[in-house]
Every structure is written in structure tokens, then in C-alpha cells.
Structure 1
Amino acid sequence: MVHLPHLLCLLGVVAAGYEPTWKSLDTRPLPAWYDGAKIGIFLHWGVFSVPSFGSEWFWQLWQGANKSQYVDFMKKNYRPDFTYQDFAPQFTAEFFNPDEWSWIFGSSGARYVVLTSKHHEGFTNWPSRYSWNWNAMDVGPKRDLLGDLAKAIRTNTPEIHFGLYHSMYEWFNPLYLQDKDNNFQTNNFVREKTIPELYELVMKYQPEVIWSDGDWEIEDWYWNSTKFLAWLFNDSPVKDTVVVNDRWGRGIPCHHGSFYTCQDRYNPGVLQPHKWENCMTLDRGSWGYRRNAPLFDYLTIHELITTLAQTISCGGNLLVNAGPTHDGRIPPIMEERLRQLGSWLDINGDAVYDSTPWVHQNDTVTPGVWFTKKADTVYAMVLSWPKGDKLTLGTVQPTPETHITMLGYKNNAINKNSLKMKRVKSGIQVVFPPMSDVKSQWAWVLAMSGVTPTVRTSPAPTVMSWITAP
């Protein structure tokens, strides 16, 4: 049932503040907390976590695209009349401990969490009044998964901001399919499902991130995106702190939003003119949990830290996805990666949190060195220990005031002595201390003061080019 006052509030003309146009909405400043946070955790969790085969697109690939591997999987393992809805009672979440999840996230060093409230399958992880008998309270877990996690995070880890993913469309919803058959000249699905759900989520759970998706089949005018966002930024309970991504209609990604995601695993490798986010997965092949994922498909901790260094050096945030199991566990290998990341950040977080991009993003002489800046300190994140313990940097020039230390080097706390260095033809050479005297693993961070950037002698890379993830 659609409540008329809600829709009037959401879809009516905005009286003051931001207007329901991208030109107006794009003038809203980015809330400072988001840029300083740098690292978030993404959680893809739903009915698709039950078959946990292939990917979170299981239902569509099975009965929409009729992909042979999914059809064969169902024929071999389930009775002939088994439906996707039959998976829902098996989405039990009996081991879901939201306090334990919050402690894992706190240990990871993340500063925000984005939980899937509803994926393209339409199942809601909260007791939505707009998803009768297809939500986590009516079937399966029989609890408000979203609300329980939000409460635990806000209670146990107040440094973490709570956010939500929400799919605007649903693969097999009759209202959406009817609108699609009408060439989207009707929008009954949006009026009766998408917008009421978004309003319900904001008013009940007050998320500080709304990560929209499932928008790509039609432009934003169908979704009433700008009208919802105008309400969100003007009148909602999170109007001063909420951030949104760029997936609000076909043609909108990489053009409008608090931050841009552009495409999954977007990692441009060069500085961007607008705040952006690299949403990526610990499992290379899926956002949801896969029982059949081989070890090779999981990122190593070095690969994860490499991605982090590349991302924040170019002005982005890193959103690291984990896929919980149907019974409510964070898979141990994913938990290990998150805790390893946190242990690295405990030592090297000064180079990450509240940092800004430097003049140069990476070094011109030594590959695998990425830079950030905070106040008068330039940080060099070195992804490989240099041969012979000597690192040459081509983008850094020393001055008489140059002072270089390594984060996690035990002598730092004793006398604050600089590492040995000298000027060389290509820039500066830094002598690393014995590895056994350094706490950090996987990557090492130099903190440099009193240095100047080398003047670039070649044109900067194209701004919107990007590296394609494997």
C-alpha cells in the first residue's frame, strides 16, 4: 500500500533548498566524514546466499538467461518443481551475531559499512511493508537483519558509519515487467515499490550511505531519482550527513552523485576531478558467497593493500565486499583478509585516514610506490621491499629540511632519527632499515617532510582512463 502523504513529500515540488535537478543537487558539498573515511565494507547477503553457486545473480542466470551451468546445477541437486522462492526458508541466519560482525568490521579499520538491504531478487533484509512475505521477518531468518546490524554497529563501533545498498529494479517483479512492457511510459513499480521502500529505509534506519543500483535499463526520469534525492538532502533525518553514489538511471553513473562508482571495480590509476569509490570484491568472481570458489579467486592481503594504495592516492575510497553465508557467518578467509587489513592500518593508518592526494600519485622510477599527503607530510606507500634495501624515488626531491621515517620502525619511537638518504640523479635514494626492525607487513610506508615534488616533464595521463580489473 502506498501512503499518499509520503509520496507527496517525496515526489512533490521541493519548496526550498536543493531543487530536484542534477544541476542543483550537484552543488551539495560532500560531507567531510566520507572523504576522510577512505575504507568501507560492502556486504552482499540475501536468498542468493543459499544456493551460493556462481554468483548473486543466480536466479536471473538460472531462470532468466537459462545459463546451462545453473540449469544443470538445479537439475542435479533439486527436485524438478523447485522454485527460487523455495530457497528463502533456507536463508536461516542462525549463526548471525551482529555484535560479532561489528567487532570484525572494527578490527578491519573500516569507517563505514554498506549492507545489501535488497538485491535484484527483491527480497528485503528488513520487514518492509512493501515486500509482503518476501522479507527477512516473514520468511527465513524471521528477524530484522538490517536493524540488528545497524544497532550493533552504532553501539559497538561508533566510529563506523552505517549505510545501505538498495536495488531500484527487481528481475521478476510483475509491476516492473509491466512498466517495461509499456516502454516505461508507466511507473507503477516506482510509485508503489522503489520510492516507498527508499523512504521507509531512510526514516526507519537513517543510513548515512545510500548505495543505489539496478538503475541501468531506463533513465532517471522513470525512477523519480532527482525528486527523491532533493527530499533526502533537504528534509530527511540524514540530510546533513548522507552520501549517495551515482547509479540513479541510465547515463547517470560517472556524472552525478556525491561520489562516482562508474563501474564495478573502477580503479582509474590517475587522479579524478570528482570524489569516487572503488567497489571491489575479496572474491574475484562474485559479490555473494560462493561455496565453489577456489582459493585462487580470493585476493591476497598484498593485492588488497595494493588496491587500497592505488585507490586513495587517486582520491578514491575503497569499498571492500564480503559475502556472508546463508547461516550468517563471515567466511573465515574473508574475515582473515579484513583483520589483516586492520593490522596493517593500525601501523600505517596515518597515510590513509583523512589523507589527500599529493601532486604525484605514483612514482616515475620505482613501480609500486603510491603517495598521499596530510598537512606537511608526504607518505609513500611502498608495495615491495626494495632490492638491496635502497629505494629510489623519481618524483621526490630532497631539501635541507628533509626528514624521512618509516611507520612501524621501532627506532622512530626512540630518537625520531631520519632514515639515511641521498640525492641521486633521478631524485632521492632512501636506505631502508633492517626488515626485522619493522612491524609492518605486506607494504611499508615512508613519512617524508621537507620534500618537494619533481616537476613533471611529460603530459599527465588521461583523467578518465582506467585499469580493468582481472
Structure 2
Amino acid sequence: MTLEPLDAAGLPQPVDVSDNTADLARVDEVIAAGPFDATWESLSGYRPPRWFAEAKFGIFLHWGAYSVPAFETEWYPRNMYRRGSPAFEHHVATYGPQSTFGYKDFLPAFRMEKFDPAEWVALFKRAGAQYVVPVAEHHDGYAMYETKRSRWNAALIGPRRDVMKDLLTAVDDAWLIRGASSHRAEHWFFMNGGLEFDSDVRDPAYADLYGPALRKEISPTERFLEDWLLRTVEIIDNYRPQLLYFDTGIEEPSFDPYVRRLAAYYYNRAAEWGREVVINYKWDAFASGAAVPDIERGTAPGIQSMPWQNDTSVSRTSWSWVEGHDYKTATELIAELADVVSKNGNLLLNIGPKPDGTIPDPEARLLEEIGAWLAVNGEAIFGTTPWTTYGEGPTQTLAGSFVDASSAHYSDADFRFTTMTEVGHRYVYAIALAPSPSGRLSIRSFAASSRLVGEIRDVRVLGHSGTVQWRRGDEALEVELPEESRSRAGGSVVRIELEPERDGERIDFFHGLWI
């Protein structure tokens, strides 16, 4: 790829953000107005909203100038300055030395000239997503929104439009829920490799893009932390996301007072709007109960008492667009969705658009396949709650972060369970995690000898309008699948109707969230 260096003469003037006194005072005024204050005791009174617990499935978007080189991962902006790394060698061989062509020089080529937000959102809606979370700013320091705190943003350089505003407007128009993601916390060290040799990171003219570039071993400065807080406040005020996702970095101890201020500000502003909101965090950045935990590329060990989220990508290779992705299959992603939902979680599934603003064909196809499965089987996902046990089957999976449950080789003997109650009806859904070549499913948890359930009133296969053949034996509930249920991506779903609860009884789920 042949690219021209950035024309520095045409750049907007740097923004003076040295005096934050007035902006910080306004933040503290909102906090003082309540209902939350900036203490963990107060913030732990937060409760996740019903909309999040019922939504189950969202779309995550890693889009940015790192998709222009499209090499390895979205960490290209860091790795291109790390001597000896494949990205460093690739960069020098392809674009020349970092002193003459640095990361800033990719920004003008990030044009998104084919970006059609309505088309994107129509795809997300067909996929079954209920909320959309674009990355507002990644670790690279380039904002995908119009900001008064930096000249390095998509409204001024690259596409020259507020692409995040355009996308979230389309999200609103489709009656989906808007979110936003901030990854800026790690920007304080992200470009520090460029200080070790002759590169444009050393050039004071671009210090407002490349950031402090401090050593990772030391904590960020108060000025950086104030800027992080105010950039996030700007996203909250200008875009009103109902979900605010934070990547790693904010768990660093120096962030703690700023994280508490940010959370109190967000929750209090949401109270002003009359909206219920969610903060996603990783590791131990928040006190338990103060926000919704997120497990990156992983899963929980079992049913959790409160909602949580797994964020993962359609690709094992990268979160952003790169050449040569190792894509997961739709069946793997559907199994991951079922696993997460069975444990009281949501799946936030990432795609990476190309720099011209189009969604790669393989990623669009995966979303269409997931949507086709949900169109038939969404009854077993949306608005459900966990059952007595989250699942059964011979395949063992690891719990925790970065274990990608979708890498497990599930069989049609692996199931995940969810449940739903309606007036006079009590359903449990057995979601097979793989298609069944034999056309028969054996579900051990519903055997006649099982202590988990009493009498079964009826058995159906979702997507099939007629009756099915089933037999409840001592070892398993045996279900014959209709022909049309055997060849779709993803496993079949068996809906088992149990005898309703006795008069006067009700089914409560954790903390009275559902009655």
C-alpha cells in the first residue's frame, strides 16, 4: 500500500486542555446533586437494569485508523514502535522508517467513504442484536467522535464526520440501545516504544496524539487522569450511551478516585435523563455490585447471581480488520451465546469494519447466520433466566478470561439450559451446542430418574410447528428432531414444558429481579 505522509500544514491547531478547573467543578456539581456520590458504599447500591438482563446479545465495533495497515491486530499503533516486533519490521519494509512515516500518517487514509450507518444497523438488527457499542476511542488516541479535547478526531482528520454520532443516530432509529466504549486508559504508555529510537513519537508537534508515552511501570499522572475523566464525561454528555464499556487500564490503583467520580457522574446524569444505564468493567476496577463485570474472551464457571457480560470477537486473530483473519464459525459463536446466557450473562460480539466503512463479507455472513438461528430459537435466549443447572455434557471448558469458550469442540450431547415462565406455562429450553447428525437428542437432566424436574407436560422443537416424537426413559429424555432442524448452523433447541407451579407459588430469580 502506498500512502502519503500527513500534510502537517493542513492540520487543525492543537487544543489547550491545560486548565480543567471549570470542567472538573461541573462534574463535582453533578455528583453532589446525587443520588449517587463518589464512594464505593454509595455506588454499590446500583442495580443492573431489566433491559440489559433481558437483551442478552449486543454488537461491539473496533473501528479506527489501525484498520488501514490491517496487520496483525488493533495493537499495530503500539507494536509498530516496538523494535524487533513483526509489526515494526513490516512497517519499515512497507512504509519506511517511523521518523518519516508514523502512525499519524495513517489517519488521512481512514476515510470510511462507503460508511452507511443505516445499512450497518439493519444488519445488526437482522443478527438479533439488542444494543450496539462502538469504540469511541481506542488506545491509539484517535477519537471516533467530535471532541473539544483533541484535534485528533474523526470529525477533523480522516472521514471528516462524526461517525459515532451518525451510527448511534441509526441505532436510535432502529429502536436498539446505544452504547459506547472507551479504551483510552492505556494510552498513557501505549506509544512509549517510539521514544527509544528516532521516530515521530519524539516530535513535540505530535505530543497531543501520541500522549504521555510514559513507561508502563509507572502510574499515569494526575493531568492524564483528569483528561481521561473529562473525555469520558464528554462522551456521556454528547452521546448519552446507555451502556459504557471500559477496557483494561482503569483497574490501576491511581485511577480509583477518578473511576468513582466518573461512575457517580454517569449514574446521576442517567437519573436526570430518566434512563437506566450499565457500566462494564474488567478485573477489579469496580467494587462488587457497583457496575456489571465483563469477562473478555471467556466465560463464568457457573450461574452468576447478577448479570455479567462476555465480550469476544468473530475472529480469533484480532478485534479490528486485518488481512488473514482466523474466523470462528457461526455454530461456535451460537454455542458461546448459549453458554453465556445459561449462566445469567450477555454476549457482546465484536466485528471490525474496513477503513472504507464496509463490513467484511465473512463477518456480515456470520451475523446473518446468527440472526437466522435466533429468528428460529430466540425464544430460548431473549428474556430468559438460568435454570436450576446451566447445562450438561461431556465437553469440559475453562472458565475465566481469554479462554474463548467457542474454541471447545462441542457435540450434540452438550446442552445449555434456560427457562421462561408465562401465565399457566413453565418452559425449560435445552439448547444443543452442535448440530445432531443422527437426528436424535438425549438430554440426561430430564430423565425419568432425574431429581431436577417433575412431570413433563409437552416437548417441542423450536422452529417446527408440528409435534415431535419423544420418550422419557430412565437415562434420558430422547427427542427425534424434524428433518429441517438437522442442517442449520447452530444446534437445535428443545422446549420442555413442565407442569406449572402449585397455586400460590411463584418463581423468583436472584434478588427478585424477575417474578
TM-score bracket for this pair, using the shorter chain length: 0.7 to 0.9
Q: Which aligned pairs between 1:63-462 and structure 2 lie closer than 5 A?
A: 63=81, 65-80=82-97, 81-132=100-151, 134-155=152-173, 157-158=174-175, 160-169=176-185, 170=187, 171-172=190-191, 177=212, 183-184=218-219, 186-191=221-226, 193-216=227-250, 218-219=252-253, 221=255, 224-236=258-270, 237-238=272-273, 240-247=275-282, 251-252=284-285, 255=288, 257-262=290-295, 264-293=296-325, 297-364=326-393, 367-375=413-421, 376-386=426-436, 388-397=438-447, 399-411=454-466, 417=467, 419-433=468-482, 435-436=483-484, 441-450=489-498
- Percentage of pairs with the same residue: 28
- SS of the residue corresponding to residue 342 of structure 1 reads helix
Over 3 Å counting, the alpha-carbon distance change for 1:404 and 1:47 in structure 2 is same
Give the Cα–Cα distance (whole angstroms) in 2 for the partners of residues 52 and 85 of structure 1. 15
* Amino acid in the other structure paired with 1:444: S
> Does 208-217 or 323-332 show the bigger shift?
208-217
> Does 356-365 or 336-345 show the bigger shift?
356-365
Give the Cα–Cα distance (whole angstroms) in 1 for the partners of residues 105 and 393 of structure 2. 56
- Indicate the residue corresponding to 2:507 in structure 1: none
The reply to whether residue 37 of structure 1 matches residue 87 of structure 2 is no
Over 3 Å counting, the alpha-carbon distance change for 1:42 and 1:238 in structure 2 is farther
Gaps of at least 5 residues in structure 2 are 1-16, 192-206, 395-411, 449-453, 501-515
Q: Deviation per CA, 1:288-345: give whole Å up to 9, x if none.
A: 111232xxx1011111111111111111100110000111111010001001111111
Give the Cα–Cα distance (whole angstroms) in 1 for the partners of residues 417 and 289 of structure 2. 27
* Amino acid in the other structure paired with 1:230: A
Over 3 Å counting, the alpha-carbon distance change for 1:323 and 1:223 in structure 2 is farther
CA drift at 1:71: 1.5
* Amino acid in the other structure paired with 2:377: N
Instruction: Decide whether the 8 Å contact of 1:208 with 1:238 is kept in 2.
Output: no
CA drift at 1:67: 4.3
Over 3 Å counting, the alpha-carbon distance change for 1:130 and 1:103 in structure 2 is same
CA drift at 1:427: 3.6
Give the Cα–Cα distance (whole angstroms) in 1 for the partners of residues 156 and 345 of structure 2. 39
Instruction: Decide whether the 8 Å contact of 2:385 with 2:419 is kept in 1.
Output: yes
Give the Cα–Cα distance (whole angstroms) in 2 for the partners of residues 383 and 254 of structure 1. 34
* Amino acid in the other structure paired with 1:122: G
* Amino acid in the other structure paired with 2:275: D
Under a length normalisation based on structure 1, what TM-score does the superposition of the two structures give? Answer: 0.86
CA drift at 1:268: 2.4
- SS of the residue corresponding to residue 231 of structure 2 reads helix
Give the Cα–Cα distance (whole angstroms) in 1 for the partners of residues 233 and 250 of structure 2. 21
CA-atom RMSD, angstroms? Answer: 2.6
Q: Deviation per CA, 1:155-184: give whole Å up to 9, x if none.
A: 1x11x1110111232124679638869954
> Does 273-282 or 135-144 show the bigger shift?
273-282
Over 3 Å counting, the alpha-carbon distance change for 1:268 and 1:235 in structure 2 is closer
Instruction: Decide whether the 8 Å contact of 1:347 with 1:439 is kept in 2.
Output: no
Over 3 Å counting, the alpha-carbon distance change for 1:226 and 1:54 in structure 2 is same
* Amino acid in the other structure paired with 1:98: P
Instruction: Decide whether the 8 Å contact of 2:58 with 2:131 is kept in 1.
Output: yes
CA drift at 1:429: 2.1
- SS of the residue corresponding to residue 359 of structure 1 reads strand
- Indicate the residue corresponding to 2:40 in structure 1: 22
Give the Cα–Cα distance (whole angstroms) in 1 for the partners of residues 229 and 72 of structure 2. 30
